Amino acid sequence: MTELLNAYWPMILIAVAIGLVVGLIVFRKPKQKVTLSKTETPVRPHMAVAEERRAPAADPGGEGNGIGDEIAAAASDVAGQVVGAKVHSNLPGSHGVPDDLQRMKGVGPKLAGLLQARGLISFQQIAALTPEEVTAIDADLGAFKGRLTRDRVIEQAAYLARGDQAGYEREFGKL
What sign results for the dihedral spanned by CA atoms 37, 42, 48, 54? negative
| Assigned domain for 117 exists | yes
pLDDT value of position 50: 47
Which residue, 122, 132, 133, is CA-closest to 158?
Answer: 122
pLDDT digits (tens, 9 = 90+) for 102-123: 999 999 999 999 998 888 889 9
Residue 36 lies in a domain: no
Q: Does residue 57 carry a pLDDT above 60?
A: no
Residues 165 and 145 in one domain: yes
Length of the chain: 175
Q: Which residues contact 35 (CB under 8 A, 6 or more apart)?
A: 42, 43
Of 95 and 54, more confident: 95
Task: Give the pTM.
Answer: 0.48
Both 170 and 124 in one domain: the answer is: yes
Q: How many CB atoms are closer than 10 A to CB 8?
A: 11
Write out the residue range of the structural domain in which residue 124 sits: 98-175
Phi, psi angles (nearest 5°) of residue 37? -95, -175
How confident is the model over 30-38, as a mean pLDDT? 60
Residue pLDDT, tens place only, 6-27: 888 899 999 999 999 998 888 8
Looking at the structure, do residues 87 and 115 belong to the same domain, yes or no?
no
Give the pLDDT band of residue 30 (cuts 50, 70, 90).
low
Strands 42-43 and 35-36, by their bridges, are antiparallel
Answer yes or no: do 153 and 167 share one domain: yes
Between CA 1 and CA 4 the distance in angstroms is 5
Residue 70 and residue 125 in one domain: no
Indicate if the pLDDT at residue 42 is higher than 60: no
Same domain, 108 and 140: yes
**102 is a domain residue:** yes
User: Residues 108, 175: one domain?
Assistant: yes
Question: Is residue 58 over pLDDT 50?
Answer: no
What rounded mean pLDDT belongs to the chain?
76
Kindly state whether residues 167 and 153 are assigned to the same domain: yes
* pLDDT above 60: residue 47: no
C-alpha torsion angle, residues 53, 57, 62, 63 (rounded to 10):
-110
Does position 67 have pLDDT exceeding 50, yes or no? Answer: yes
Mean pLDDT of 66-72: 67
The number of folded domains in the chain is 2
Here the CATH number for the domain that contains residue 117 is 1.10.150
Residue 101 contacts residue 118 (beta carbons within 8 Å): no
